[in-house]
Chains A and B, each alone.
Chain A
Amino acid sequence: MNARSLFIPATLFLVIAFLIGPFLIIVAASFSAGETLAFPPQGFSLRWIAKVFTVESFQASFAMSLFLAIGGTAAALVLGIPASYALSRYKLPGAEIVRTVVSAPIIVPGIIVGLALLRYIVVPFQVGITLALFVAHTALVLPYAVRVVSASLDNLRSDIEEAAVLLGSSRLGAFFRVVMPNIRGGIMSAFILGFVTSFNQVPVSLFLSGPGVRTLPVDMIAYMEIVFDPSVAALSSLLAFLSIGIVFAAERFLGFSRYV
């Protein structure tokens, strides 16, 4: 082995260590028995993992984040699937405008979306924070929903539903009995991508928080500014394993990466 053939694998090793290492340190720190966040961990215990489940604000914000991720993604799909269908199967007047409008939330920084909603929807119309968060997360996930569902619709030949219509099915019947079963994988992938995006989102939710109403990541940032114990590390590890597990399962059963 000469120097150059060693150089490339060594670089790769360092890059992977740089990308994964911090995460492993967080996992190790969450099993610490000590009072403060430190590495190497002082002793071994599960006390911080256990503590995560007893912090009341974490329980409330976890429930909020879960509701937003599931509800917001579902709402984005209810809006996004018909729009994707129209974009991929119809001669839609102003198709480019529709495409740009529904995918715009991806380009504009989340903090601006949150601030705009707060200033011009929440305050003037007296909208509740929970509803505002729900609407914001729906808008945020919509571009992903349209992109992923459109991709799986484009991969599906359109003559099968034309055939179904010719054979006497209604347009709606053809959609639900012929198209839907064929794009189920794409819809599930869109759901998972939307869920992870919404759950991890911070900037949109920053300004949209009220007394007792907060998303989990925003709550974690607030907590770590006050308390320097390993419970945020423990919570981070738990969440990371949760999302890695979801994505792995999705890849295994749905071939997630084909759509994303």
Chain B
Amino acid sequence: MRAAWRRREAIEGYLFLAPAVLIIGAFHVWPALYVFYMSLFRWDILQGAFLGFRNYEHLLQDADFLRSLLLTLVYALGTVPLEMAAGLAVALVLHQRLRFRGLFRLLYFLPYVTSQVAVALVWGWVFNPSYGAANGLLASLGLAPQHWLLEPGGIFAPDAPPSLALAAIMIVTVWYYLGFHAVVFLSGLAAIPGDLVEAARIDGASGLKLFRHVTFPLLSPTTYFLLLIATIGAMTSFNLIYVMGGGGQSFGCAGNPLGTTQVAALFVFDRFWCQTELGYASAAAFVLGLLILALSALNGRLFGRRTVYVG
């Protein structure tokens, strides 16, 4: 009787899963497998000789690829914590009873709804070396003008990443995704049962204490989720870096200047679409994927266990 009921539940469960699994399987899993297949071949426009894992061996000795992995790490470390912290701060403030709360919520979310082409154009003006607002600001502070998106020199040391160009793109990234994090955090805050917070308050918790011991732990599913999504997003980040790094220029490919903004996804794009080495690029995409998987697992180990669920 109980076994029959379990079997019924299992069948029903599979039926529930079927639509999503079918769509994701057909349009995400199958392509990923196809990409893996491509990575085993020399594949220019057309499929060429079978290479086994030689594309992978080659990748590990490719200085450009290794640099792109380092840049990806720098980019992720420089953006994810910042955009999450800023997003959380904004969400906490906007979660309160506040005058003009609706207006503020809109202001902070505006970047995220704007198309990235427009974003790239507007920030391109801001960072324009001859007449941009960024150099205007520097001038009014009595500082020397900079080349911004054209500058391959590092901000900490001349040859160490991130270059000023990548740093400028990182600023834009934080600006762009802040609203996204704020909104998801807001929904997380809204999901926290009011009576729990009320009870804590009656017990005398307030301010920072309330946040540290009640709100933040209860928010942990959201935080964990955002951390995972943002890390994966940053590691595969392409669009903003491509349009800001001169990738969209008619004669350029990805990662100007001097490849200092060529993060892993740009490396993949460059080899895939600009240099038409489809097999080699697919191998690079797979290596990047495995790295992200490892990092996500680590992420889960570090943070996942501390996630607190109510109920």
Q: Are chains A and B native binding partners rather than an unrelated pairing?
A: no
Q: Which residues of B does A touch, CB under 8 Å?
A: none
Q: Which residues of A does B touch, CB under 8 Å?
A: none
